[in-house]
């Protein structure tokens, strides 16, 4: 069981780190969409993709809770999985887990810094972006209205 738990913790850490790195790449794409392209459709698409990854991160949090329960840890009593490691694993195994945990934290910190940069750029370009988003929204509304009125279906007899 301990080997299963050890592998589960490793897998969760790697998965979490990968998700942070995926989000980090998306943040870079957001910045490009804002600065290089001024492309609202692309920005909105990226934000939509990010939401999917964030949802998976939330599911991952549930997996951490399940793993804690598997190890007999009740986190509601302020006992974290990390404080219980010395009771469960060897020093070598703990060192490996702590290394993975450090990598995951570094990926999360990098993501947070990148998000701050995007936020700063969004604030700088807020008025311009708002105008483009409104134009995009109006264009989309017009296209929907046109389609409802039968646009795009030419009947030539």
pLDDT score recorded for residue 153: 45
- What is the rounded distance in angstroms from the CA atom of residue 13 to the CA atom of residue 82? 12
Q: What's the number of domains the chain is made of?
A: 1
Q: Which residues contact 146 (CB under 8 A, 6 or more apart)?
A: 152
Structural domain for 107, as ranges? 2-146
Segment 22-57, tens digit of pLDDT: 999 999 999 888 888 777 788 888 989 999 999 999
Please state, rounded to an integer, the average pLDDT across all residues of the chain.
82
Q: Does 154 reside within a domain? A: no
Write down the residue that tokens 């979490």 correspond to. Answer: 16
Cα(92)–Cα(4) distance, integer angstroms = 16
The closest of 4, 9, 1 to 85, measured between CA atoms, is 9
* d(C-alpha 23, C-alpha 46), whole Å: 10
Of 55-64, 125-134, 143-152, which range is least confident?
143-152
- Residue 105 belongs to some domain of the structure: yes
């Amino acid at each position: 069981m301990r080997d299963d738990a050890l592998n589960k913790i490793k897998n969760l850490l790697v998965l979490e780190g990968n998700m942070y790195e995926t989000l980090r790449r998306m943040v870079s794409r957001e910045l490009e969409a804002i600065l290089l392209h001024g492309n609202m459709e692309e920005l909105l698409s990226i934000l939509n993709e990010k939401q999917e990854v964030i949802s998976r991160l939330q599911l991952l949090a549930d997996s951490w809770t399940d793993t804690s329960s598997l190890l007999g840890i009740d986190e509601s009593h302020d006992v974290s999985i990390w404080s219980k490691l010395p009771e469960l694993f060897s020093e070598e195994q703990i060192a490996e887990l702590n290394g993975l945990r450090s990598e995951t934290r570094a990926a999360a910190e990098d993501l947070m810094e990148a998000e701050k940069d995007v936020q700063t750029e969004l604030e700088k370009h807020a008025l311009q972006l708002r105008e483009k988003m409104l134009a995009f929204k109006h264009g989309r509304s017009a296209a929907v209205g046109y389609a409802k009125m039968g646009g795009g279906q030419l009947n030539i007899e």
